[in-house]
Structure 1
Amino acid sequence: MPITVASATEDHAMTFHQYRLEDMGRMRVRKYCEIEDREVDQGEIGKGYQLTREQVIPISDEGLGCPVPGQDHAGPPRSVGSWSHHRPQWLLATISSAA
């Protein structure tokens, strides 16, 4: 049965930025390496779990993945389409006019 994916919610979020009160200059966040004392690019930043004060276990995005129930029947998630996985969705049956 063909289906269509439709958003079940609307985005009504307001976004704010941080500004310095004195001159309304926009505030930015820069990421510095504590060991090398330098600013780093986003591509150099990874995730990790701090096990002890001295020991960090690196975590990859693939390592955080969760199995999808029934994935062996539905195929890989990328075949579903580019709809948003983090927002509620409606699955609507597509009715054909040709009967």
Structure 2
Amino acid sequence: MGVLAAQSALLAIGIILGLICSAIGLFFGHIILFDSIALGIVAGVCCRHFLSVHPALCIVIGIGIAVAVLATKHLRWILDHRRTDDANLRSGIRAAGLSYFRI
């Protein structure tokens, strides 16, 4: 019974830490970074709690998920930014009367 209580407390602590990191991210404006860290913490704790993986591997999994989520969010921003630049380039070429280039 004590093991069940300890595991439940560990899961609750991980979820609370994730929520605290998200709240801090809202106040500081770096929501992408703090959300990635919060998801990494929650993933590591859930991995330990539900899959009974060694704590060192849970830390590696948490860090990997945090980095992957952060990279995904930054990659999406870069792709959206490139699409906007391409649209501006196309409209500039059309405005200059050079639209015969098949853009």
Q: Shorter-chain TM-score: what band?
A: under 0.3
Bigger strand fraction? 1
Looking at both structures, which has the greater relative contact order when contacts are Cα pairs under 8 Å and sequence separation is at least 6? 1
Give the TM-score normalised by structure 1. 0.27
Bigger helix fraction? 2
Give the TM-score normalised by structure 2. 0.26
